């Protein structure tokens, strides 16, 4: 219990630091989260030999995506071009590197690479959203997760997807989305991220569903690699990826919906 409390404090302090820090420091804090995630991902897959080159490629993509002026101050669509080309660049680079190093592609390499691309999109989107949008993002993810747990604990009867996450229930999922939408709606309107209206309510409901899908996506990956947690970075809470699975899923959609 004490360990979980310490871990929760670490998460809260890091989140507050991101909220209160200026944009350059905020971007650096997001970047570091990406490094932790990639490290946990490749260790989970027992592909540590690809870790260094993966972090280098991630760093390059992150810098270009969040600082397009570094390459071309005149090319207004540069950011979009980088984001579109990133999956192909990552795939071809690591695929070629794997062939050179091993002469073959292991069974765990493709799902790891797929989740890497997915994670980097989430991290880049997280670095580009405004502080108000970041607070809204936290309210979506945390309220959905909390109410899904509480609703499932007291009212859960039917298992949602037992082969992926045995403890999650249909009732918990529904409660998480409904109550998570209500909480995040109040936050969105209060911060003027979105205007009042039924359309905002529907958009936020969709994001709560995506939040839960992100959680299930990471759970399925852990089952594939037969591990309980993505790492031990956060005491009592597993790895950074365990805490950011839903955030990575929601961030790109929130970035697009809010107008980028």
Instruction: Provide the pLDDT for residue 117.
Output: 84
Strand segments, DSSP code E, in the chain are 159-161, 165-169
Q: Residue 182: helix, strand or coil by DSSP?
A: helix
Q: Say if pTM beats, i.e. exceeds, 0.85.
A: yes
How many other CB atoms are there within 10 angstroms of residue 230's CB atom? 26
Write the burial class of residue 226 (CB in 10 Å: 0-12 exposed, 13-18 middle, 19+ buried): exposed
260 residues of the chain, pLDDT tens digit each: 678 788 889 999 999 999 999 999 999 999 999 999 999 999 998 888 889 988 988 898 888 778 755 544 444 454 555 555 666 666 666 666 666 666 666 777 778 888 888 898 899 999 989 999 999 999 999 999 999 999 999 998 999 988 888 889 999 999 999 999 999 999 999 999 999 999 999 999 999 999 999 999 999 989 888 988 888 888 877 889 999 999 999 999 999 898 76
Q: What is the pLDDT of residue 100?
A: 63
Q: What is the pLDDT of residue 101?
A: 64
- Exposed / middle / buried, residue 241 (Cβ in 10 Å: 0-12, 13-18, 19+): buried
- Residues 6 or more apart whose CB falls under 8 angstroms from that of 37 comprise 119, 123, 240, 241, 244, 248
Residue boundaries of the structural domains of the chain = 2-257
% helix / strand / coil in the chain, to the nearest 5?
75, 5, 20
Q: Quote the DSSP letter at residue 105.
A: -
pLDDT of residue 98: 66
């Amino acid at each position: 219990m004490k360990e979980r409390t310490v871990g929760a404090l670490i998460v809260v302090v890091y989140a507050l630091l991101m909220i209160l820090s200026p944009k350059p420091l905020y971007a650096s804090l997001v970047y570091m989260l990406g490094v932790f995630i990639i490290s946990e991902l490749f260790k989970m897959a027992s592909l540590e030999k690809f870790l260094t080159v993966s972090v280098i490629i991630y760093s390059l993509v992150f810098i270009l995506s969040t600082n397009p002026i570094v390459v071309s101050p005149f090319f207004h669509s540069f950011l979009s071009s980088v984001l579109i080309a990133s999956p192909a660049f990552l795939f071809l680079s690591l695929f070629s590197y794997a062939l050179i190093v091993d002469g073959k592609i292991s069974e765990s390499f493709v799902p790891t690479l797929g989740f890497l691309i997915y994670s980097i999109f989430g991290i880049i989107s997280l670095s580009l959203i405004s502080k108000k949008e970041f607070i809204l993002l936290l309210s979506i993810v945390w309220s959905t997760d909390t109410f899904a747990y509480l609703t499932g604990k007291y009212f859960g009867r039917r298992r949602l997807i037992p082969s992926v996450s045995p403890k999650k229930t249909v009732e918990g999922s529904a409660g998480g989305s409904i109550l998570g939408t209500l909480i995040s709606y109040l936050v969105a309107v209060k911060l003027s991220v979105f205007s009042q209206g039924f359309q905002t309510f529907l958009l936020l409901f969709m994001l709560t569903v995506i939040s839960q899908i992100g959680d299930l996506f990471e759970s399925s990956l852990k089952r594939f690699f037969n591990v309980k947690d993505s790492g031990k970075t956060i005491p009592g809470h597993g790895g950074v990826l365990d805490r950011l699975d839903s955030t990575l899923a929601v961030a790109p959609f929130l970035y697009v919906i809010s107008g980028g």
